[in-house]
Amino acid sequence: MASKSSVAADIPKLSKELCLRLLGDLEKAKRPVIYATKCSLDNAMYNPKVGYLTPGDKKVATELNVSSVKKMSRTIFMLEIILGNLETGAVNTKRELYYISKGYIKHDPKLKPLDFADQNESDDIIDFICEMLEVYREEINCYANDRGGQTYSQQLIVTETMVDGTKATIDLSKLGTSPFQPKNRPQNLKLSARKKIDFCLIVESEGTANTLVANGFTKRNNCILMGAQGVPSNAVRGWSKLIQDQLECPIYFFGDLDAYTMQNIFRTLKAGSAASLIRNEDYSAPEVRFLGVLPDDIKKYDLLDYPVKENDAQEARALKKAGDVLKNDPFFMDKKNKGLADILKWLQVNKRRCEQQSYFTVNPKDPTMPEKIIIDKIKRGHYV
């Protein structure tokens, strides 16, 4: 895939070429076909040298016929709206695009048949456009809400290039207890450090990240501390990738020891997801390491763990899915990630889980105990 920054400018050109092809076919009464990259696990490839999931050769072909004419009409309709946005530099969320489409339909009764019954329908069309043009939504000026990724550091300085070309500099040490919120389009950010940054720690729980900062973690360590807030959003993923590439510091992930965290949160952070095969290049940080909680930690620190409850639907499902993942997910199947696959297997066999907050049980009187364990583990190289 070509470098994203150069492709972004080509979207109007790509779209016009596609439409010209469709028009040519129609003029000849030939059935036009639109090809889109198949974004699913069965088309996901993993090359340990690249480090993230990339799309395979499989394409989804949509041939124009009576059944697909509605989808194609909607695609062209939405594409026109997006091209308008790209021309003027306007940005929107998916929900806003849904309402914008509603607005066009409201003002032009001829478009009524295209009307979306709910946002899911317009979201699907937006995703289809991305897969068709092999671009990601941020490139077509469609942004998600910036969720997660709140970042704390005494060393980090971020320089943002604005749409009008002006620059803004944010010194994170000047923000007090407020975190820095990364944007969905990290390509516009440039990072630098006051002092060499020793590591970046991504904590699964936003609350725990906050606690560590409040207890002086970022004061005592030359580091970047980030809260992931569950499954990493595009903002978190792009931001982590930026830190990895521009600061070249080791990145560690600290989260729960359970199947969901391993296969949904950590895998997405490290190698991207099957649904976003097109954009994993810019939205994954392959260097990130799994610091804990590791199965060994339970014994070593005598952590409080507990069996997976049968009635916890999410956990039970994740554990069941772990079996499929070990067999089908190219990321976990690759020998480079054997250590991570072993953790999944351990979870499958033992059916136990241990939360990140269990570090607080080690010495309840010492609020900095989790920090001590984390630093100790980094020093000893006790991570996967």
Partner 1 sequence: MAAHMASTQKITTSSTAEYFSKNLQQVGFSSHTKAVLTTLKEAVDNALDACEENDILPEIRIEIEKLGAGSMKNAEQIRICVVDNGPGIDPDDVPKVFGEYLASSKFGRGRCTRGQQGIGISAATTWAQLTGGKGALIITKQKGMRKALKARVEVDIKNNKGTMKDKDMIDWDRPNGTSVEFIIDGRIQLNGEAGLMNYLLGTSLVNPHLTLHYKLPDPEIPETTIERVSKDFPKIPEAVEPHPHTMKLGEFIAHSHLFGKVKTSNWLGKGFSRVGPSVIQELIKTAGVKKAIFEKNVDQLDEAEFKSLYTGLQNLPLMAPSTSSVLSIGEESLSKSIQRLGAVDYFSVVTRKPTICDFKPVEVEVAIARLQVKTVEQDTPVQVLRFANRVPLQFDKSACAIYNSLTTVNWKAYGLVQPKESLPQGPYIVAVSVVSPFIKFKNASKETIDSSDELVEEIRRALMQAGQKLSKHIRREDKANELEEKIRHIEQFGPILVEGICRITKANDTRKEKARLGLMKLLGRDAQEAEKDLESASEKLEAHLVKTKKSETVEEVEA
Question: Which residue lies nearer to partner 1 by CB, 22 or 326?
Answer: 22
Question: Which residue lies nearer to partner 1 by CB, 112 or 174?
Answer: 112
Question: Which residue lies nearer to partner 1 by CB, 114 or 243?
Answer: 114
Question: Which residue lies nearer to partner 1 by CB, 25 or 287?
Answer: 25
Distance CA 83, CA 277 (A): 23
Characterize the bridge pairing of strands 223-227 and 151-153: antiparallel
Rounded alpha-carbon distances, angstroms, from residue 210 to 148, 236, 255: 12, 16, 14
Minimum CB–partner distance for residue 19 and partner 1 (Å): 4
Instruction: Name residue, tokens 């899915």.
Output: 321
The set of residues, in sequence order, having a beta carbon less than 8 Å from that of 124 and lying 6+ positions away, is: none
Question: Which residue lies nearer to partner 1 by CB, 73 or 173?
Answer: 73
Minimum CB–partner distance for residue 99 and partner 1 (Å): 19
Minimum CB–partner distance for residue 329 and partner 1 (Å): 38
Question: Which residue lies nearer to partner 1 by CB, 25 or 160?
Answer: 25
Minimum CB–partner distance for residue 300 and partner 1 (Å): 55
Instruction: Evaluate whether 267 touches 217 at the Cβ level (below 8 Å).
Output: no
Residue 56 has φ and ψ, to the nearest 5°, of -85, -160
Side by side, the strands of the sheet bearing 189-193 are 167-171, 156-161, 189-193
Minimum CB–partner distance for residue 29 and partner 1 (Å): 4
Query: How many CB atoms are located within 10 Å of the residue 311 CB?
Result: 6
Among 341, 323, 322, 345, which residue's Cα sits nearest to residue 332? 341
Minimum CB–partner distance for residue 73 and partner 1 (Å): 4
Distance CA 218, CA 192 (A): 17
Q: Which residues bind partner 1 (CB under 8 A)?
A: 15-16, 19-20, 22-23, 25-31, 64-66, 69-70, 72-73, 76-77, 79-80, 83, 110-111, 113-114
